[in-house]
Amino acid sequence: MPTLKTRIQDDMKDAMRARSSARLSTIRLLLAAIKQREVDERKEMTDADVLSVVDKMIKQRKDSVAQFEAGRREDLAAVERAEIAVLQAYLPAQATDAEIDAMIAEAIAATGAAGPAGIGKVMAILKPRLAGKADLSAVSARVKTRLG
C-alpha cells in the first residue's frame, strides 16, 4: 500500500494532467508544507506526520473562512472552502459521535480523571487515537463538559 505522501504526489500529477489549477495549487501547498517539515525535522514523514500537516492546514483554512466571512469577503471564503475540500480527501474516515463518546468514556475510565484538572490526561490519550478522524477542539469541549 502506497504511503499518503506518495498518494498526494500522484494526485498532483493527475491534477496537472487534468489542468485543474485550483486543486493543483492546493496540493502543491500541501507538498511544500510536508517538505518544509521534513527539512526542519531532518526525517522522512510518516503517514501520521502527513496527517498532522493536513489537519493543521485545514484548521488554518477554517480560521481564514471565519475571518473572511466576518469581513464580508465571501469570494475569498469560497476559495478557502474549496481548499478545505481538497485537503479533507486525505483525512481518514471521520469518527462518529457515538465512537467519540465511547473513546472519551474509555479514556476517562483509564485515567480515573475527575474535574477540569483531568482534561489534559484524557486528551493525551484521545489525541493520537482521534488525530485526523475528528475535530480535536470539539472533542476537547466534549471532555470538558463530561468532566466539568
Q: pTM, whole model, 2 decimals? A: 0.75
Q: How would DSSP label each residue in 122-141? A: HHHHHHHHHTTTS-HHHHHH
User: Which has the closest alpha carbon to 110: 102, 79, 42?
Assistant: 102
CATH for 4-88, options being 1.10.1040.10, 3.40.50.11440, 1.10.1510.10, 2.60.40.1180: 1.10.1510.10
Would you kindly state where each structural domain of the chain is located, as residue ranges?
A: 4-88, 97-147
Q: Is the dihedral of CA 114, 119, 125, 129 positive or negative?
A: positive
Place of cell 465512537: 99
User: What is the full per-residue pLDDT of the chain (148 aa) written as tens digits?
Assistant: 688 899 999 999 999 999 999 999 999 999 999 999 999 999 988 888 898 899 899 999 999 999 999 999 999 999 999 999 999 999 888 888 888 888 888 888 888 877 778 888 888 888 888 877 888 888 888 888 888 8
For domain 97-147, is the CATH number 1.10.3210?
no
